[in-house]
Amino acid sequence: MQCRPGCGACCIAPSISSPIPGMPNGKPAGVRCLHLSAESLCALFGQPERPAVCSGFAADIEVCGNSREEAIHLIGWLELATA
């Protein structure tokens, strides 16, 4: 599966515990990453500063569902289930 243009759910729904430039304590679940553009694209994509957890994420129907809204819901549910 390819990422849906303009989705950004994986940059909003999950928590990220590793430091991110400008977010030294990572980010809490449900908070928009500082580096998610207005077009919902990662400004750190392809950069060495991008956290490994972000680089390692691959879009999958089980996580991303059929829409951005479904992805936010599924990733949020996974966040709670693994907390």
Position 77 scores a pLDDT of: 94
Confidence of residue 82 (pLDDT cuts 50, 70, 90): confident
Contact 75, 14 (CB under 8 A): yes
For the cut 80, the answer to whether the pLDDT of residue 83 exceeds it is no
pTM: 0.88
pLDDT tens digit sequence for 25-57: 999 999 999 999 999 999 999 999 999 999 999
**What is the percentage of the chain residues whose pLDDT exceeds 70?**
100
- 9 vs 57: CA distance, rounded Å: 12
